[in-house]
Amino acid sequence: MGEAVDGQRSRVRCSFCDRVITGRITRFKEHLAAKKGNVAACEKVSSHVRKEVVENLKTSKETKVTKQKVRDELEERIRLGDDGDYEANDFDEDDDPGMSEAVYASLRSQAEWEERKHRRALNPSQHASYEVGGSSSGRSRAELRRSSSVHTTGVGSGRRWE
């Protein structure tokens, strides 16, 4: 149906009309399917091939929408603190059992980061010390000093640090 031009995947020559289509493979499929708006339609493709490509584009779109819904649902469950079962049946990408766990961990990390970012935006002065490596006590490591009182009983050298 198409052949890469000069070995570039972003340029495909249509086997039916010899037109060179630049862009991704979906754009080439839209050319064959005569989808309006993104690329000129191929006038020489057979109706059988056109129907097949239209069906392929439709299936690809449905799969993409379904996967996005699953991801959105998972992100929402993470945001709400739901620790449900996230096994490979939620994500069938590569049929790797560890894949869904990795995706879950990544999405949880992303959701936590976004939550922290949101809290910082609401009250920037409260979180400013964390941005520069400060601590919740307001003291940095350079400010740690030996206490003036020395503990004389118990184990150790008797030194206390604040």
**CA 61-63-69 angle, 5° bins:** 105
Cα(129)–Cα(137) distance, integer angstroms? 10
pLDDT of residue 78: 78
Regions of the chain with pLDDT less than 50: 86-91, 129, 131-133
CA distance 61 to 82: 29
Residue 162 and residue 144 in contact, taking contact as beta carbons nearer than 8 Å: yes
Q: How many CB atoms lie within 10 A of CB 5?
A: 14
> In which order are the strands placed within the sheet that holds 20-22?
2-5, 8-14, 20-22
User: In sequence order, what are the beta bridge partners of 146?
Assistant: 161
What pLDDT, on a 0 to 100 scale, did the predictor assign at position 37?
A: 87
The pTM of the full predicted model, rounded to 2 decimals, is 0.47
